[in-house]
Amino acid sequence: MFACVAAMCLSACDTGSDQQEIQAATSPDGLVKARIVEEGFGATVSDVSSVQLLVRDRDPGEVLRADRVQALTLRWRDPRTLDIEMACGRIYRFSNFATVMDKDGKLLYRVNISLKTALPCPADQ
């Protein structure tokens, strides 16, 4: 009985977040789409920004998650190197690589990811 009630509560819960794609850039070979997604939770919580990689519109893999982000941008240096730049922010998750698989799950290649940041954000932000 408890499991049923808990499942109903979890399925009825709404996180109250609103996701919006801010920027997208496709790799020069056209296989990978990098995108910046901003997720807002309301006035009392900082917006969360993430960088996601999509391969042929499959579920995105998140390579960066941060809040209080300023001036986040993406640029493909070449088909296997993605540059992420941000003025500042609090980084919760970052991966400096991602693997690109084909539809059969075989490794095609690895994407190297660089992250460049300026000075830390001012403490009052």
Residue 120 confidence (pLDDT) above 70: no
Query: How much is the pLDDT for 8?
Result: 39
pLDDT grade, residue 101 (50/70/90)?
Answer: confident
Structure tokens at 5: 């009630």
Query: Predicted confidence band at 1 (pLDDT cuts at 50, 70, 90)?
Result: very low
What are 7-66's pLDDT values in tens digits? 433 344 445 568 899 999 999 999 899 999 999 877 677 889 999 999 876 778 999 999
Write down how long the chain is. Answer: 125
3-state secondary structure 40-85: ECCCCCCCEEEEEEEECCCCCEEEEEEEEEECCEEEEEECCEEEEE
Residue 23's nearest CA partner among 71, 81, 91, 63 is 71
Do 96 and 113 form a contact (C-beta atoms < 8 A)? yes
Whether the CB-CB separation of 25 and 34 falls below 8 Å is answered with yes
DSSP 8-state symbol, 28: T
Q: What is the pLDDT of residue 58?
A: 74
Phi-psi region of 78 (alpha: psi -120 to 50; beta: other; left: phi over 0): beta
Q: Hey, what's the torsion of the CAs at 37, 82, 32, 102, to 10 degrees?
A: -120
User: What predicted TM-score, i.e. pTM, was given to this entire model?
Assistant: 0.79
pLDDT at 111 over 80: yes
Give the pLDDT of residue 14.
Answer: 45
